[in-house]
Structure 1
Amino acid sequence: MLQYKRILLKLSGEALAGADGYGLNAEMLERYAEEIREARDMGAEIALVIGGGNIFRGVSEAAAKMDRVQADYMGMLATVINSLAFQDVLERKGVFTRLQTAIKMEQMAEPFIRRRAVRHLEKGRVVIFGAGTGNPYFTTDTAASLRAIEIEADVIVKGTRVDGIYDSDPEKNPHAEFFSSISYLDVIRKNLKVMDMTAITLCSENVLPIVVLNMNVKGNFTRLLQGEKVGSLVHGDSC
């Protein structure tokens, strides 16, 4: 029996870059795809949202002099590039997928249609959501929260390269405090960099739990689905 049946997995674009720091790292793509394949084989229904920061970020230094709307659209296109790459590696592993985008690009992806996305999940396909929400000024964190609510996911899993939620960057501060469990309200009060405030608010209003874990530790994702305590849980005050 799985702890969570339907999961929205959020990966950053930087995670796909690996040690390269930019672009797509084939080893990281393979590693994450294998984790997803194992979870799918266990019976989990998995949807994916991938950031685009390894290619272009709308609020980056490179975009500083650009029109913000134009820069954000470029960021959305970067998420589609990452999504296409991830789709390719998953299907080479025998995992059926569907890519749905918030901006129409019929030659390479379906438009986002909630009922169709849910049906794909029910049929065992991994659904990848690209192009964010399709609107500027909204991050892929917010897109992940929105899509998770729309498909009635049981949880959002945010895959990072640290073990969970800390009060400061554990890669820079060895004394950073770790939170194994924390409420939405405390995330906002403490201004913790879990997801942006719009995303946290959406999850809070819809009582959608968030788990933050280290996706670079092999087996973390499947252990979470099997009910082990992995990473950090963001929840309502009543939990």
Structure 2
Amino acid sequence: MHTPIVLTENVADTMIALVLASARRVVEVAQRVKDSEWQNSIPNNGFGIDVHHKKMGILGMGSIGLALAQRAHFGFSMQILYHARHQHQDAEQRFHATRCELDTLLRESNFLCISLPLMTETHHLTGQGQLAKAKMKPSAMLINAGRGPVVNEDALISALQQKALYAAGLDVFEKELLPTSSPLLTMPNVVALPHIGSATQETRYGMARDAVDNLIATLSGNVQKNCVNPQVLAQRSKQRGG
């Protein structure tokens, strides 16, 4: 089911939720309360990291990346960096975003947010070479609510174990369902969600509505919205006309 437009805002919301949960250690400290470990004050080792006025690096600047930049810029006064194949003038004008090379994005970002489709050229785009200590700040956080295989999961686990990264917020994984043996599930600095980027009542209704609209349009020969391969339709239409 290809219904990308209806997902944009909610996936961006999910990424912001992962940013906040990872930086402020929300899951970890909430569990302490449930486990009756709340003392008079939070110990120093329970402190998180500020989100506001930091640098967000967005890997990919499509509709979700743009929605994420909007939230980070206006909601948290963040400086926006991005790496993409093409310059995005809208992001630069509206959010003062700066396009940069991947190495610069890695080096400068406090939050590395991945918003890329999975293609041959993006598979494991973020791997051992990118997640090494020399490339990223040890206080940096990796956020992925795009496609799991864009990140080399073994490299991410290694970076977290070696403290080359502060934390990770993940809604997608290389293999879903995530194996129960994954080290990610035992790391307190990893927020792991079960691919819930679109999991709201309103969005799932919108996805179903778009799917029905797509089906009706296809049967009527008037496919315009959410078409993945318009060139194939054009070719078939030409063949029928001939």
TM over 0.5: no
Q: If the length of structure 2 is used for normalisation, what is the TM-score?
A: 0.37
Higher helix share: 2
- Which protein is bigger by CA-based radius of gyration? 2
Higher strand share: 1
Q: If the length of structure 1 is used for normalisation, what is the TM-score?
A: 0.37
